[in-house]
Amino acid sequence: MLQTDVKLPTGISQRSDATPCVFVVDDDPVVRDALEQLIDSAGWAVETYSRAEDFLARPKLLRPGCVVVDTALPDATGLELQERLVAHRAAPIVFMTRFPDVPTTVRAIKAGAVEFLVKPLREDLILGAISQAIERSHAELRQEAELRALRERYTSLTRREREVLALVVAGRLNKQIAAELAISEITVKAHRGKVMRKMNARSLPALVRIASKLGVG
């Protein structure tokens, strides 16, 4: 059940495929219905599930969102579900429980949970936690998009350009790279210039940061 003594925030006036989605996983139909109404009133899309397996069977979320899940489900504990969600890089998690305990709370937060709320849920707290989780989801999706773009740029490099990139970010000078690859310094400079352009790196520090994100060097 929810404690309904607070004013709802202004919702989103028009929803689209980009509207954040909140997934509620709880075997209590009363809690599911109450949360569905609350989340819908706040302007977010919402889907509810009574079992962990039913939720995990749906396709991965490709837009911002979060999962609000009870710690005790018929087919899995909330922590077990969290492990599977983390492994599949799913949406951020907000936990809720009727029987809180310190070890479970600490474990959940250390594993990346946004919040650990105690039932009966206060509307301001659950809405605040969902908002925070969605903000984190936005950031994670931006990071994923950036990494995909960097990987695409990296795949555009030739084998030799990748070799030069790895040696450049390892701190080698042009003459050292030339000696190691048995090519001229002029050729190294040409490859290095192409690497900078293809990777859209304006400086050596920028190239080093890009390589670090890609795990190169």
SS3 (DSSP) at 96: strand
Q: What is the pLDDT of residues 3-14, one digit of tens each?
A: 544 333 333 334
Confidence of residue 37 (pLDDT cuts 50, 70, 90): very high
Q: Residue 89 carries which DSSP code?
A: T
The arithmetic mean of pLDDT across residues 68-80, rounded, is: 86
The DSSP string of 21-38 is EEEEE-S-HHHHHHHHHH
- Radius of gyration for the chain, computed over Cα atoms and rounded to the nearest angstrom: 24
C-beta separation of 208 from 198 below 8 A: no
Q: What is the pLDDT of residues 85-133, one digit of tens each?
A: 877 667 899 999 988 888 888 988 988 899 999 999 999 999 999 999 9
pTM, 2 dp: 0.75
Q: Which domains does the chain have, with CATH numbers?
A: 2-142 (3.40.50.2300), 156-214 (1.10.10.10)
